[in-house]
Amino acid sequence: MQFALPPRRSPHPVPLSRASRMSSYRRKQLKSAAVLALAILSLIYLLRYFYSSASTSVVAPVGTSGVVIVTLLDRQRYSDSYLKKIVANREDYAKRHGYTNFFASASDYDEAVGDAPMSWAVAPAMRHAMATYPRSAYFFHLAANALIMNPTKSLKSHILEKGRLDDLLMRDVPIVPPDSIIKTSAHQEEKGVELIITQDSENLNPGSFILKNGEYARFFLDAWFDPLYRNYNFAKAETHGLDHIMQWHPTVLAGAALVPQRILSSYSHGSPGASLDGTYKDGDLVIQFHGCEDTEGRDCAHELEPYYKIWEKKTQSD
């Protein structure tokens, strides 16, 4: 309809040339004003958009750095002399690389663990370490039945360095060996990894893992330590509990990265159940005397002795 507000001319005739010049000037002004307004509006919109999207992302808390080595000392299972050696081993390693040690006494968590086997204490101990050192980025749990054999190798160069994990990741592998239908992602990338862990020939190995500080860590430890799992009488207590949550809860699995066993937890020759190529070879970071503490006929202190001597020699030569 032609009546719908056409651009109105002034009803009084004015000199034509002047009028048109005026109107074109006016139009230009209007145009630039409109462009400016549009630009400002879109800027505001974009800012709003970015703000709203930035606030929801969840990453490891900013400003965290460093590594805390968590060792759970169970004085009922290990002799004091044995634990002294383990402590010396950890302290040496921490001093070399500027890490922090957190020695947790298993008896502190008696109440938390309740009637369940004491090995469950690893979860509250990790939580405790995270509460004590909230500014640390990584928490490396290494069980008392393991010895650091290559003290010069830092965790950073060994695993945590950017790009390194991409090479180590075991993708599309059954999370619980040998034939779990739940497999690690075939397209897993370094980004998004919150937990680095290994498996032997039967289970995941909670005796040695690295956990990144953050929401996932809290979730993972709390979910793992749930009383109903502790009371379930899993044959292998916390190990089977870990197998269970990894297989049944994709959000737990999503943050976990599987690396070859010898990266974090090479088994000693006397420890049965090592994965293929999981037995200790010279130069590996860690040797674990897996099962020495609760298998009849084995003695941790006895198994430790030769390796401890090798380690002592290494530290003195450096």
DSSP SS3 for 122: helix
CB of 213 to other proteins, least distance (A): 10
- Looking at residues 144 to 183 of the shown chain, list those that interact with other proteins (rule: CB under 8 A): none
- Looking at residues 59 to 98 of the shown chain, list those that interact with other proteins (rule: CB under 8 A): none
Q: How far is Cα 83 from Cα 50, in angstroms, rounded to an integer?
A: 52
Total residues at the site for other proteins (CB under 8 A)?
A: 38
Contact 112, 129 (CB under 8 A): no
Q: Which is nearer to other proteins, 144 or 159 (CB)?
A: 144
CB of 29 to other proteins, least distance (A): 24
Contact 186, 173 (CB under 8 A): no
State the binding string over 238-257 for other proteins (x if CB under 8 A, else -): ------x---xxxxx-----
In degrees rounded to 5, what are phi and psi of residue 145? Answer: -95, 20
Amino acid identity of residue 43, one-letter, is: L
Contact 182, 249 (CB under 8 A): no
Locate the DSSP E strands across the chain.
67-73, 100-105, 138-142, 146-148, 195-199, 204-212, 256-258, 266-267, 286-288
DSSP SS3 for 68: strand
Q: Which is nearer to other proteins, 189 or 215 (CB)?
A: 215
- Looking at residues 102 to 141 of the shown chain, list those that interact with other proteins (rule: CB under 8 A): 108-109, 112, 124-125, 127-128, 130-131, 134
Is residue 277 part of the contact set for other proteins (CB under 8 A)?
Answer: no
Is residue 186 part of the contact set for other proteins (CB under 8 A)?
Answer: no
DSSP SS3 for 36: helix
Q: Which is nearer to other proteins, 140 or 311 (CB)?
A: 140
CB of 223 to other proteins, least distance (A): 6
Q: How far is Cα 87 from Cα 142, in angstroms, rounded to an integer?
A: 11
Structure tokens, 116: 């369940």
Among 87, 118, 223, 301, binds other proteins (CB under 8 A): 223
Is residue 5 part of the contact set for other proteins (CB under 8 A)?
Answer: yes
Contact 270, 287 (CB under 8 A): no
CB of 151 to other proteins, least distance (A): 29
Among 7, 8, 282, 316, binds other proteins (CB under 8 A): 8
Q: Which is nearer to other proteins, 85 or 127 (CB)?
A: 127
Q: Which is nearer to other proteins, 32 or 233 (CB)?
A: 233
* Residue with the two structure tokens 């800027």: 43
- Least Cα distance to 259 among 318, 205, 192, 305 occurs for 205
Give the interface with other proteins as residue ranges (CB under 8 A): 1, 3-5, 8, 11, 45, 55-56, 58, 108-109, 112, 124-125, 127-128, 130-131, 134, 215-216, 218-219, 222-223, 226-229, 231-232, 244, 248-252
